[in-house]
Amino acid sequence: MTQDTLWGRPEQQTLMAASSGEQTMANLRVLMILLIALVPSYKLITGTDLTPALSVSFIGLALALMWRAFLRRRQYVPAMAFASVTFDISLITLGLWLDYQSRDTGLALVNNKGTFALYFLAITSTALRYDRRLSLFGGGLAIASYSLLFAVALEHPAIANPEPEWIDRYGNLFLPDQVSRLLLLLMATMLAWTLVNRACNLERNALKDPLTGLYNRAFLQQHLMLTSERAKRNGQPLAVVMLDLDFFKRVNDRYGHGVGDRVLAAFSQRLNAGLRAGDLLARYGGEEFCLVLSQTSLEEAKTVLAKLHERIQAEPFDVGAEHPISLTFSAGVCVLQGQDDTPQALLERADHWLLHAKRAGRDRTGFAPMSGRPAPGLSGL
Domain positions in the chain are 12-207, 217-379
Comparing 47-56, 125-134, 199-208, the range with the smallest average pLDDT is 47-56
Number of CB atoms found within 10 A of residue 15's CB: 17
Predicted local confidence at residue 374, as pLDDT = 47
Predicted local confidence at residue 172, as pLDDT = 85
Q: pLDDT at residue 162 above 70?
A: yes
DSSP code of residue 317 = B
Residue 293 three-state SS: strand
- CB neighbour class for 21 (10 Å; exposed up to 12, middle 13-18, buried from 19): buried
* Domain 217-379 sits in CATH 3.30.70.270: yes
Of the candidates 192, 70, 172, the residue with the CA atom closest to the CA atom of residue 120: 192
Predicted local confidence at residue 149, as pLDDT = 93
**pTM for the structure as a whole:** 0.70
Predicted local confidence at residue 322, as pLDDT = 87
Can you point out the beta strands (E) in the chain?
Answer: 238-245, 280-285, 288-294, 329-335, 365-367, 377-379
Alpha-carbon Rg for the chain in angstroms? 29
What torsion do the CA atoms of 166, 169, 174, 176 make, to the nearest 10 degrees? -150
Q: pLDDT at residue 4 above 60?
A: no
Q: pLDDT at residue 17 above 80?
A: no
- Phi, psi angles (nearest 5°) of residue 107: -65, -25
Q: Are 333 and 365 in contact (CB under 8 A)?
A: yes
- pLDDT, tens only, 272-302: 999 988 899 999 999 999 999 999 999 999 9
Of the candidates 74, 92, 86, 79, the residue with the CA atom closest to the CA atom of residue 33: 92
Q: pLDDT at residue 191 above 50?
A: yes
Of the candidates 140, 118, 137, the residue with the CA atom closest to the CA atom of residue 129: 137
**Cα 11 from Cα 150, distance rounded (Å):** 38
Percent of the chain with pLDDT over 90: 61
